[in-house]
C-alpha cells in the first residue's frame, strides 16, 4: 500500500509541532502516512501547493500567513471556513481542494472538554482580528458565549470581523486603546501574534478579568509567556495557552482526512511534558 502524503504549509514552519502530532495520531490509528512541514513564502504558496498535489499530496494543514489565500483557491468551503474566510485544513478531491477550518472547534473542545469551562453567557473580549480570531469567533458564538467585544491594533479589521459575524446586538468592535473603558470580562482571549514577533501587546488593565474569569492565549510556548504572566497578575481563575487547541484542531483535521477521531489526551500530555514546546505556535 502506498504511503499517504500530508503536510503543514506555512512561513516559517520549521518548528511546527503538527508533524509530531499527526505521526502520533497515525500510530494510534494504525495508518501509514507521511506528514511533512513545507515552508512557502507568500508569493510561492500557490506553486508550492500545486507541486505538493502533483507529488501525491492529499491533505494539508495551512498555517500563518496562508490561511486567507488557501480559502481563495478552494473550489468548495465548509461552513466554518466560509464564516472564517480562512482555511486551516485542505482535503484533495477529484476536482480540486476542499477547505475547512477546525481552529474554532479545536479551541471550544479544549476549553470545554479539557479545561471544563462552561462558556455559556461569558462576556468575552477577543484581542486580535487576524486569521485565528476569524476562525474562533464563530465557534465561540455558537458555543453560547454572551456579548463578544473585539479589539485589534488595526481597528478596521475588528470592524470587518464584526461585520462578517453579523450579530450586531451581540458583537461589538471597539478601539484597542479604549480597552480600559470596557469593563471586565469572563473570558479574555489573546488572538494576536504580537509576542511571536517579540513585541509586547499594549498594556492591558489589571481589572480586565472578572472574578472567576478565564484568560486564554492562542499561542503556546515562549510566545504565550507574556500574556499568561499578565493573566496571573490579573488573578484570572484559569490561565490557558494554545497547546490544547493545537492538538484539538489537529484531531479535527485528522478526522476529516481519515474518518477516525484520534484520542487527544495522551498526545497533549506528551507535548506538555516536553521542554520542546517552547517553540513557535502554528
Give the closest residue to 260 by CA, choosing from 44, 2, 1, 4. Answer: 4
CA distance 60 to 78: 15
Residues 52-81 within binding reach of ligand NAP (CB under 6 A): 64-65
Q: Measure Cα distances from 256 to 82, 101, 166, 261, 273 in Å.
A: 17, 11, 28, 9, 27
Find the radius of gyration of the CA atoms of the chain.
Answer: 18
Q: Which is nearer to ligand NAP, 142 or 222 (CB)?
A: 222
- Which residue in 199, 263, 265, 269 binds ligand NAP (CB under 6 A)? 199
The piece of 116-124, 128-136, 141-149, 160-168 that touches ligand NAP (CB under 6 A) is 128-136
Q: Which is nearer to ligand NAP, 97 or 268 (CB)?
A: 268
Residues 227-256 within binding reach of ligand NAP (CB under 6 A): 242, 245-246, 249
All three cell numbers of 246, joined, read 493545537
CB 54 to ligand NAP: min, Å: 27
20 is an interface residue for ligand NAP by CB under 6 A: no
Alpha helix ranges (H) inside 125-205: 131-142, 155-165
Name the pairing type of β-strands 209-217 and 185-190. Answer: parallel
Q: Which is nearer to ligand NAP, 18 or 82 (CB)?
A: 18
Residues 143-162 within binding reach of ligand NAP (CB under 6 A): 152-154, 157
219 is an interface residue for ligand NAP by CB under 6 A: yes
Under a CB-based contact definition with an 8 Å cutoff, are residues 63 and 30 in contact?
no
All three cell numbers of 132, joined, read 485565528
CB 242 to ligand NAP: min, Å: 3
CA distance 120 to 44: 42
- Which residue in 18, 78, 192, 264 binds ligand NAP (CB under 6 A)? 192
Residue 70: alpha-carbon gap to chain centroid = 15
Under a CB-based contact definition with an 8 Å cutoff, are residues 173 and 155 in contact?
yes
11 is an interface residue for ligand NAP by CB under 6 A: no
Please identify which of the residues 22, 66, 67, 92 carries the catalytic annotation: 67
The catalytic residues are: 67
Q: Which residues bind ligand NAP (CB under 6 A)?
A: 64-65, 103, 106, 128-133, 152-154, 157, 191-194, 196-197, 199, 201, 218-219, 223, 242, 245-246, 249, 281-282
Amino acid at each position: 500500500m502506498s504511503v499517504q502524503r500530508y503536510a503543514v504549509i506555512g512561513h516559517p514552519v520549521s518548528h511546527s509541532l503538527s508533524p509530531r502530532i499527526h505521526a502520533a495520531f497515525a500510530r494510534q490509528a494504525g495508518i501509514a502516512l507521511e506528514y511533512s512541514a513545507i515552508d512557502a513564502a507568500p508569493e510561492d504558496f500557490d506553486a508550492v501547493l500545486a507541486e505538493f498535489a502533483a507529488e501525491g499530496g492529499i491533505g494539508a494543514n495551512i498555517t500563518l500567513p496562508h490561511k486567507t489565500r488557501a480559502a481563495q483557491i478552494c473550489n468548495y468551503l465548509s461552513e466554518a471556513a466560509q464564516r472564517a474566510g480562512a482555511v486551516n485544513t485542505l482535503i484533495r478531491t477529484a476536482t480540486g481542494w476542499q477547505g475547512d477550518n477546525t481552529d474554532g472547534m479545536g479551541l471550544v473542545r479544549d476549553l470545554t472538554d479539557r479545561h471544563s469551562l462552561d462558556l455559556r453567557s461569558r462576556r468575552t473580549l477577543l484581542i486580535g482580528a487576524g486569521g485565528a480570531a476569524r476562525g474562533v469567533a464563530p465557534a465561540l458564538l455558537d458555543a453560547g458565549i454572551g456579548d463578544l467585544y473585539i479589539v485589534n491594533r488595526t481597528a478596521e479589521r475588528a470592524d470587518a470581523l464584526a461585520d462578517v459575524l453579523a450579530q450586531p446586538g451581540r458583537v461589538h468592535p471597539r478601539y484597542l486603546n479604549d480597552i480600559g473603558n470596557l469593563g471586565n470580562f469572563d473570558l479574555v482571549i489573546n488572538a494576536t501574534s504580537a509576542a511571536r514577533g517579540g513585541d509586547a501587546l499594549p498594556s492591558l488593565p489589571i481589572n480586565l478579568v472578572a472574578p472567576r474569569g478565564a484568560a486564554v492565549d492562542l499561542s503556546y510556548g515562549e510566545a504565550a509567556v507574556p500574556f499568561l504572566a499578565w493573566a496571573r497578575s490579573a488573578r484570572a481563575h484559569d490561565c490557558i495557552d494554545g497547546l490544547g487547541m493545537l492538538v484539538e484542531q489537529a484531531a479535527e483535521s485528522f478526522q476529516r482526512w481519515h474518518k477516525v477521531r484520534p484520542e487527544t489526551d495522551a498526545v497533549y500530555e506528551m507535548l506538555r511534558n516536553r521542554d520542546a514546546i517552547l517553540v513557535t505556535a502554528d
